């Protein structure tokens, strides 16, 4: 079992719709969780971090964390073609950041 698992996609959504990206992790002691966006040929850039159970909203993005079920999700409201990218989920385990392989999102105009 991978430490951080994501569906590779592609996840295709129409412009204006809500995109829902999911991630599960195996280590219960993980404390901090992150979503990064990566455009093709570029390095990952931070979208959101979340540390507590529940929802955290930032603009069109909402991160959701459920430590009991060991999953973290990212919702993108009013999806735009510019949101088309690969989204990486990451967790920390004692200094080490463990990344999922990413979900490719395609927003169709």
28 binds another protein (CB under 8 A): no
Instruction: Out of 13, 74, 83, 102, point to the residue binding another protein (CB under 8 A).
Output: 102
Using left for φ > 0, alpha for ψ between -120 and 50, and beta otherwise, residue 69 falls in: alpha
Residue 7 binds another protein (CB under 8 A): no
Which residue number, 72 or 100, has a Cβ lying nearer to another protein?
100
- Determine, following the binding rule CB under 8 A, whether residue 97 of this chain makes contact with another protein: yes
Exposed / middle / buried, residue 16 (Cβ in 10 Å: 0-12, 13-18, 19+): exposed
Residues of this chain that bind another protein (CB under 8 A)? 31-32, 34, 42-46, 49, 51-52, 88, 90, 92-102
């Amino acid at each position: 079992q991978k430490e951080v698992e994501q569906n590779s996609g592609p996840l295709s959504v129409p412009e204006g719709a809500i995109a829902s990206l999911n991630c599960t992790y195996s280590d219960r002691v993980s404390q901090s969780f992150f979503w990064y966006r990566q455009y093709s040929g570029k390095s990952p850039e931070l979208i959101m971090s979340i540390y507590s159970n529940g929802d955290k909203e930032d603009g069109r993005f909402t991160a959701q964390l459920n430590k009991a079920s060991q999953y973290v999700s990212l919702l993108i409201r009013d999806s735009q073609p510019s949101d088309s990218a690969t989204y990486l989920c990451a967790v920390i385990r004692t200094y080490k950041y463990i990344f999922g392989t990413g979900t490719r999102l395609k927003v169709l105009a």
